[in-house]
Structure 1
Amino acid sequence: MHLSLSRRRLVAAAVGAAAFAAAGPALAQESYPSRPITIVVPYPPGGSNDVFARAIGKRLSEALGQPVVIDNKPGAGGTLGTSIVAKAAPDGYTLGAVSSSFVTNAAVQPRLPFDPMKNLTPVAMMARGPFVVAVRADLPVNTPADLVALARKQPGKINYASSGPGSTNQFATELLKNKAQIFLTHIPYRGMAPATTDLMAGTVDLLIASGPSLQPALRSGKARAIAVTSLKPSVAAPGLPPMADAAPGFEFSIWWGLLAPGGTPDAVVQKLNAAVNRIVQTPEMREFFLREGAEPAQLGAADFAAEVRRAIPYWQDIARSAGIQAE
């Protein structure tokens, strides 16, 4: 059967349209990004989430050829900004810069306005680092073993500060209490600044926090660092022994990473993951993270998601056993 010229043209056009439609999603993914990307930071400017997001955002813009805008949306302990990301269009143009508090918050806040696993997609981990164990300058301890021995000798008399109920500081210290079988008294503050101030004043005995947040107290000589919370010595805090030397199995690390709305296409997630992994492994970024008390992390998106999925029930168990509750 012979087709007329006009009929052949119609058939060819239909075939071409079908092929274009089938290729549409792939072409759309290949062209990502075609407009600016926003990274929502759910905390005020100046904190580690903000500092890391700006450093990564600048280099991500260079790598992807599109502007990357940092948008600080503080409130409700990080829940407000994270909720904005969870409810955004799943197209890769809205990301969130979060840290380990994302999973500890999920562990103690059962009524979050989003499902942390269903409504958010882990994209890439930027960095990971230990906390530092610091004591007031005149506390008679110099090593992890000294601290454990004193706490056992004087149960409940040593107090520890945190930046608030349900904070990562509280989780880290309660985990230490569990592993070392010691009793410490919790004194919660509203933020890290007043907690650090009272450590320097000698009002509190112990504060477990990130190296950068403790630097003012340590430089003043009114507080001393005696350990890190990693299982082994860390290049992010050279010269400090692991607290695990006196509390076997104790380990606490904080991570920073990027999330996207749930349902973001895998091709977009993989493109972002590959770009971030390349960026964090550069000598420039490694030096930057070390100055901030962290090391660059390099995880596939699936591995990052698996770590988040494991962490939430783990910290839920710790919260229940220690009676940790959010404000």
Structure 2
Amino acid sequence: MDKNTMRRRAFIAAMLLAAVPASPVLADPAYPAKPIKLLVGFAAGGGSDVVARLVAKPLGERLGQAVIVENRAGDGGNIASAQVAKSEPDGYTLVLMTSGHGTNAAMRKDLPFDPIKSFSWISTVTTYPLTLAVAPASPIRSFGDFIQRIKAEPGRYTYTSVGVGTAMHLVGEWIMAESGGSALHVPFKGGAGPMTELLAGRVDVMIDTMTNTAPLFKSDRVRLLATTAPRGVQALPGVPSVADTLPAVVFESWLGIAAPAGTPAAVVGRLNRELRAVLEMPAIRQQLVDWGGSPQASGPDAFQARVEQDIQRLRAVVAQRKIQAE
């Protein structure tokens, strides 16, 4: 091969390479090269916010760039999710999602993003089962007893949640659908209302997160009938699962981190690895446990599958029970 032919081939190869758009990973092999934003869809000081700040600092230390928590509160977390969904998929804008993402998708058809396809799923952070609690003096002695009562006397008993369309409400209706019983839903708009009414004897059962009820259980202010975890919870010895009686009813609230759809696989992989390492730190794990959670990292595919399953199951409950947003 003569020198002119070699030069021509080298020139053509260089032109072809120049014509191929560089992916963000190729263009920025040193990711991350600047601070990363972690959006939280709820106000500062709330449960999701404190978890975000707990993991942000050590995650930033492992990545070599600060992870800055920014609150974008409103619309049940959808404001933050919408902002991330339309952000550049370069790994510099993330969102701490809650399981409310699934309930929002189950209840609403007007979300400004696709609840699955608009995101690259990085990892769950922690999970929290829901609990069914009664006042200490309640005549309802067990979850099985509760089911028997709502089947024998439909509409006599009540259960409360922090609002229509919340996970607590949908799980309550899921229990009704699977058991064939009927209890009246008494919704509150968050706050201490459910607990106040339960302890006053004006509602029979409260469905809430373990984060809120575990301290009350440990101080004997409530009795727990069951949790919605797939099996008994180590932190709540002797408390059975709803699934022991109704095998189909399994639900855990969760927190996890996602990025915009199209984020390069190498970036997702790096974030997943470093987040897993953070969640293995004893101090981080213990703090999450102290807050009533179970530290739980996952692969991106497993995280996406969890969200898809939540949406599918809860949409079925919404349709079967004809639940409408207020």
Pairwise same-fold verdict (TM > 0.5): yes
- Tell me, what secondary structure is at the counterpart of 1:131? strand
Alpha-carbon distance, 1:149 to partner: 2.2
Which aligned pairs between 1:235-254 and structure 2 lie closer than 5 A? 235-254=234-253
Q: Quick one: structure 1 residues 135 and 111, their matched pair in 2 at CA, closer, same or farther if it must change by over 3 Å?
A: same
Alpha-carbon distance, 1:219 to partner: 6.1
User: What's 1:203 paired with?
Assistant: 202
| Contact residue 125 and residue 256 of structure 1 kept, 8 A | yes
Q: Quick one: structure 1 residues 212 and 2, their matched pair in 2 at CA, closer, same or farther if it must change by over 3 Å?
A: closer
Distance in 2 (CA, whole Å) between partners of 1:238 and 1:22 is 59
Alpha-carbon distance, 1:14 to partner: 9.2
- Tell me, what secondary structure is at the counterpart of 2:83? helix
The one-letter amino acid of 2:207's match is I
- Tell me, what secondary structure is at the counterpart of 2:94? strand
Distance in 1 (CA, whole Å) between partners of 2:262 and 2:22 is 18
User: What's 2:297 paired with?
Assistant: 298
Considering only aligned residues, what root-mean-square deviation do their CA atoms show, in Å? Answer: 2.6
User: What's 1:180 paired with?
Assistant: 179
The one-letter amino acid of 2:158's match is N
Distance in 2 (CA, whole Å) between partners of 1:130 and 1:316 is 19
Would you say how many aligned residue pairs link Structure 1 and Structure 2?
A: 323
Which aligned pairs between 1:199-278 and structure 2 lie closer than 5 A? 199-215=198-214, 217-218=216-217, 221-278=220-277
Distance in 2 (CA, whole Å) between partners of 1:121 and 1:62 is 22
User: What's 1:99 paired with?
Assistant: 98
User: What's 1:77 paired with?
Assistant: 76
Distance in 1 (CA, whole Å) between partners of 2:247 and 2:193 is 31
Range with bigger deviation, 274-283 or 25-34: 25-34
User: What's 1:148 paired with?
Assistant: 147
2:52 is equivalent to residue 50 of structure 1: no
| Contact residue 129 and residue 236 of structure 1 kept, 8 A | no
Distance in 2 (CA, whole Å) between partners of 1:290 and 1:217 is 16
Distance in 1 (CA, whole Å) between partners of 2:276 and 2:221 is 39
**Structure 2 unaligned spans of 5+:** none
User: What's 1:126 paired with?
Assistant: 125
The one-letter amino acid of 1:91's match is D
2:313 is equivalent to residue 314 of structure 1: yes
**Structure 1 unaligned spans of 5+:** none
The one-letter amino acid of 1:233's match is G
Per-residue CA deviations over 1:209-249 (Å, capped at 9, x if unaligned) read 11222256546654322221123111243331212333343
Q: Quick one: structure 1 residues 221 and 272, their matched pair in 2 at CA, closer, same or farther if it must change by over 3 Å?
A: same
The one-letter amino acid of 1:47's match is G
Per-residue CA deviations over 1:143-186 (Å, capped at 9, x if unaligned) read 22222222233321111111111001101111112222211100
Distance in 1 (CA, whole Å) between partners of 2:237 and 2:255 is 21
Distance in 1 (CA, whole Å) between partners of 2:203 and 2:215 is 16
| Contact residue 214 and residue 236 of structure 2 kept, 8 A | no
Q: Which TM-score applies when normalising by structure 1?
A: 0.89
Distance in 2 (CA, whole Å) between partners of 1:13 and 1:285 is 54
| Contact residue 162 and residue 190 of structure 2 kept, 8 A | yes
| Contact residue 164 and residue 189 of structure 1 kept, 8 A | yes
- Tell me, what secondary structure is at the counterpart of 1:69? strand
Per-residue CA deviations over 1:26-55 (Å, capped at 9, x if unaligned) read 444531111111111101123221122111
- Tell me, what secondary structure is at the counterpart of 2:257? strand
Distance in 2 (CA, whole Å) between partners of 1:13 and 1:199 is 78
Distance in 2 (CA, whole Å) between partners of 1:240 and 1:152 is 22
Q: Quick one: structure 1 residues 20 and 55, their matched pair in 2 at CA, closer, same or farther if it must change by over 3 Å?
A: farther
Q: Quick one: structure 1 residues 207 and 61, their matched pair in 2 at CA, closer, same or farther if it must change by over 3 Å?
A: same
2:139 is equivalent to residue 157 of structure 1: no
Distance in 1 (CA, whole Å) between partners of 2:62 and 2:133 is 39
- Tell me, what secondary structure is at the counterpart of 2:177? helix
The one-letter amino acid of 1:184's match is A
Identity %: 33
- Tell me, what secondary structure is at the counterpart of 2:81? helix
Range with bigger deviation, 131-140 or 192-201: 192-201
| Contact residue 29 and residue 268 of structure 1 kept, 8 A | no
